[in-house]
């Protein structure tokens, strides 16, 4: 009896040692999850981010947290109202300089005249990445193309650094790999694009550093550090997942919105006003 | 981008001359050239084998241009298929002079339309060595075949509809799609006079062709999937690609009613063939098939050559000041005319 008891204790001790060894020496389930996902590789050995992707959030309405709100025309009722969102900005409000915050507020108040999306203008970066339209990543060793449905916008990411020939709406993107992450340094923007429909804006000093990292086969983690000393007091970050469009035969369709914005742009110059 | 460089005509002609004689000719040995210059190009150097992408597709990647002086249709009165070298350079010189003097020197129009000054004319870009008298090679007369009765009726209906919408400057919608930055031609890829640069990028299952003009990115699935449903229509249509040997074949359908390429119906089918013929050369062919419009399919062919990148952002709508200016000018003129008429009435 006593021996049996002793044996039991010895058995328990052995078992707990064994368990401890197992726990500390082999990756348990929880630790395995903490290991970064290893992205399948392209034929030239780079993380394969090819695919059609889309953000599923309401950052295009306002990158900061916001409640639901009515749309601009009462006739449309629930259609075209503003969907609520928790926001994609990390760590509190966007650090605007006081005078820039004033401009942001004026932008929102006058958005029917100022929002570049209404005019079908190119969306800029990072806005292109979270507009409610899909985009496709097409990877080759030298160039990574991002083709957006909205307005047929395009980004070329140069994997062999090239200097920008001029400022532009979509800016100039140079990329490199840091382990699993595609890091894109985007600059040389003009001052004309916005971050969202809420009037959040930047100047031509905008500098965006983005990281695209696969979380698993159907999700990318996207984060962007935004720097613009003319408008913000310090760099700040946005972060969101991008979801793979998994439908069979999905494709980027054409959304040439220029035609839809002509009346906004040139309607007041008509010979005969629209009734 | 080459088009943006202002270069003396002489240097350009010299460059083309070099391009014609030193570049491996896409046509040598393949096309009957008679006595034209290409036939005296270095007798088909060593055979060139197409390189492959990491996943084994023929590699068409790079920056290309198919800029050419050859018109789509053979000019009336020209019967030969190819110009001689002398005739080609003579035509080039004439065109360069014409482009430089599109408007009367010293007038306001001259500032705006002096294409040579802004590098907007064909002759200032990198020109392909194309001595053809027309892009069209079938039918053999180099011209678009006659329209069917159905095609003619559609063209007449469209013209009548346009007339109902008033004069060209009455509203933005009456101006050409090109002026409105909506569509400048992308399928087939006829070279515009400037910005005629293309970039090809290939990934497994896709070929992407970025057209500089209007930043049109054609993402072409290569996996044999069917076309999008018939009711999904667009300006660039719905493209599907496949390889026939080393030739990229792209079939495009599902165009909208508005494109009407050379008067085609929405059900036109455009088949393009891109064949790399050398390190820096490619053959570009396209066939237009539309029984609702023409009595027979027609086919065109032209060379493409490698050019320098990068491709610029052509933010056309964003910088389209001309639209506002033209419409405003029309309204101002109407107002002036009305005032003059009113004044005349009171006199």
Report yes or no for ipTM above 0.95: no
> B326 to chain A: nearest residue by CA?
A269
| pTM reported for the whole predicted model | 0.87
Mean pLDDT of A254-259: 97
pLDDT band, very low/low/confident/very high, at B90 (cuts 50, 70, 90):
confident
Which of B167, B235, B310 faces A256 most closely, judged by CB atoms? Answer: B235
Cβ-based contacts of A153 with chain B (< 8 Å): 215
Q: Is the pLDDT of residue B97 over 60?
A: yes
pLDDT band, very low/low/confident/very high, at B31 (cuts 50, 70, 90):
very low
Q: Where do the structural domains in chain A lie, given as residue ranges?
A: 1-35, 51-265
Q: Given CB atoms, is B328 within the 8 Å cutoff of chain A?
A: yes
Share of chain A above pLDDT 70, in %: 88
Q: Distance from A63 to chain B by nearest Cα, in Å?
A: 24
Mean pLDDT of B179-187: 96
Q: Distance from A90 to chain B by nearest Cα, in Å?
A: 31
User: Which residues numbered 112-141 in A keep a CB inside 8 Å of some CB on B?
Assistant: 119-122, 136, 138-141
Residue A7: what pLDDT?
55
Cis omega before residue B188 (within 30°)? yes
Residue B129: what pLDDT?
86
Q: Given CB atoms, is A192 within the 8 Å cutoff of chain B?
A: yes
Q: Given CB atoms, is B202 within the 8 Å cutoff of chain A?
A: yes
Q: Is the pLDDT of residue B30 over 70?
A: no
Residue with the bigger pLDDT between A87 and B69: it is A87
Which of B54, B201, B334 faces A43 most closely, judged by CB atoms? Answer: B54
pLDDT band, very low/low/confident/very high, at B102 (cuts 50, 70, 90):
low
Q: Given CB atoms, is B181 within the 8 Å cutoff of chain A?
A: yes
Chains A–B, number of C-beta pairs less than 8 Å apart? 127
Residue A142: what pLDDT?
96
Residue-wise pLDDT for B33-70, tens only, equals 222 333 333 445 567 899 999 889 999 999 999 999 89
Cβ-based contacts of B330 with chain A (< 8 Å): 271
A44/B54 touch (CB, cutoff 8 Å), yes or no: yes
Residue B91: what pLDDT?
81
Lowest mean pLDDT among A27-31, A81-85, A126-130, B192-196: A27-31
Residue-wise pLDDT for A124-147, tens only, equals 999 999 999 999 999 999 999 999
Average pLDDT, chain A: 91
Print the SS3 string covering chain B: CHHHCCCCHHHHHHHHHHHHHHCCCCCCCCCCCCCCHHHHCCCCCCCCCCCECCCCCECCCEEEECCCCCCCCCCCCCCCCECCHHHHHHHHHHHHHHHHCCCCCCCHHHHHHCCCCCCCCHHHCCCCCCCECCCEEECCCCCCCCECHHHHHHHHHHHHHHHHCCCCCCCHHHCCCCCCCCCCCCCCCCCCCCCCEEEEEEECCEEEEEECHHHEEEEEECCCCCCCCCCCCECCCEEEEEEECCEEEEEEECECCCCCHHHCCCCCEEEEEEEEEECCEEEEEEEEECCCCECCCEEEEEEEEECCCCCCCCCCHHHCHHHHHHHHHHHHHHHHHHHHHHHHHHC
Residue B25: what pLDDT?
37
Contact B222, B202 (CB under 8 A): no
pLDDT band, very low/low/confident/very high, at B127 (cuts 50, 70, 90):
confident
Residue-wise pLDDT for A203-231, tens only, equals 999 999 999 999 999 999 999 999 999 99
Q: Given CB atoms, is A251 within the 8 Å cutoff of chain B?
A: yes
Share of chain B above pLDDT 90, in %: 70
Residue-wise pLDDT for B214-269, tens only, equals 999 999 999 999 999 999 999 999 999 999 999 999 999 999 999 999 999 999 99
* Integer Cα distance of B2 and B307 in angstroms: 8
Q: Is the pLDDT of residue A116 over 90?
A: yes
Residue B34: what pLDDT?
27
A143/B323 touch (CB, cutoff 8 Å), yes or no: no
Q: Is the pLDDT of residue B9 over 50?
A: no
């Amino acid at each position: 009896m006593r021996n049996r008891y002793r044996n039991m204790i010895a058995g328990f001790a052995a078992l707990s040692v064994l368990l401890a060894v197992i726990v500390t020496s082999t990756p348990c389930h929880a630790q395995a999850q903490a290991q970064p996902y290893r992205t399948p590789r392209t034929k030239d050995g780079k993380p394969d981010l090819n695919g059609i992707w889309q953000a599923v959030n309401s950052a295009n309405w306002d990158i900061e947290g916001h409640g639901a709100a009515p749309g601009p025309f009462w006739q449309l009722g629930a259609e075209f109202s503003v969907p609520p969102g928790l926001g994609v900005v990390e760590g509190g409000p966007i650090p605007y300089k006081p005078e820039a915050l004033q401009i942001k507020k004026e932008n929102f108040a006058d958005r029917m005249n100022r929002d570049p999306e209404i005019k079908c203008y190119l969306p800029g970066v990072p806005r292109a990445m979270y507009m409610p339209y899909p985009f496709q990543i097409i990877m080759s060793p030298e160039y990574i193309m991002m083709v957006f449905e909205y307005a047929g916008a395009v980004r070329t990411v140069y994997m062999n650094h090239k200097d920008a020939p001029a400022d532009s709406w979509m800016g100039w993107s140079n990329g490199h790999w840091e382990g699993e992450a595609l890091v894109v340094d985007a600059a040389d923007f003009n001052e004309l694009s916005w971050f969202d429909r809420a009037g959040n804006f930047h100047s031509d000093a905008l500098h965006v550093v983005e990281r695209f990292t696969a979380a698993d086969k159907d999700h990318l983690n996207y984060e962007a550090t935004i720097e613009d000393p003319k408008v913000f007091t310090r760099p700040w970050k946005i972060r969101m997942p991008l979801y793979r469009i998994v439908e069979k035969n999905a494709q980027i369709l054409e959304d040439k919105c220029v035609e839809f914005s002509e009346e906004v742009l040139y309607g007041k110059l008509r010979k005969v006003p629209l009734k | 981008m080459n088009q943006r460089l202002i270069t003396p005509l002489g240097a350009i002609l010299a460059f083309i001359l070099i391009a014609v004689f030193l570049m491996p000719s896409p046509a040598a040995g393949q096309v009957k050239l008679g006595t034209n210059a290409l036939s005296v190009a270095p007798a088909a150097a060593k055979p060139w084998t197409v390189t492959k992408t990491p996943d084994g597709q023929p590699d068409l990647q790079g920056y290309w241009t198919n800029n050419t002086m050859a018109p789509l249709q053979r000019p009336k009165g020209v019967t030969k298929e190819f110009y001689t070298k002398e005739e080609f350079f003579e035509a080039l010189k004439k065109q360069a002079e014409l482009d430089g003097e599109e408007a009367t020197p010293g007038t306001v129009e001259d500032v705006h339309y002096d294409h040579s000054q802004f590098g907007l004319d064909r002759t200032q870009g990198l020109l392909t060595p194309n001595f053809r008298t027309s892009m069209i090679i079938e039918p053999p007369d180099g011209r678009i075949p006659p329209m069917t009765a159905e095609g003619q009726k559609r063209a007449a209906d469209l013209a009548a509809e346009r007339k109902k919408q008033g004069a060209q400057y009455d509203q933005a919608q009456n101006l050409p799609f090109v002026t409105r930055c909506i569509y400048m031609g992308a399928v087939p890829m006829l070279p515009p006079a400037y910005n005629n640069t293309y970039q090809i990028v290939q990934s497994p299952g896709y070929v992407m062709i970025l057209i500089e003009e209007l930043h049109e990115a054609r993402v072409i699935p290569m996996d044999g999937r069917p076309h999008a449903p018939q009711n999904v229509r667009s300006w660039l249509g719905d493209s599907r690609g496949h390889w026939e040997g080393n030739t990229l074949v792209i079939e495009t359908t599902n165009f909208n009613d508005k494109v009407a390429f050379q008067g085609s119906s929405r059900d036109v089918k455009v088949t393009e063939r891109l064949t790399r013929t050398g390190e820096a050369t490619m053959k570009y062919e396209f066939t237009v098939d539309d029984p609702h419009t023409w009595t027979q399919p027609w086919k065109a062919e032209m060379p493409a050559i490698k050019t320098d990148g990068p491709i610029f952002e052509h933010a056309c709508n964003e910088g389209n000041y001309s639209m506002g200016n033209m419409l405003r000018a029309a309204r101002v003129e109407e107002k002036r005319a009305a005032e003059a008429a009113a004044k005349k009435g009171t006199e």
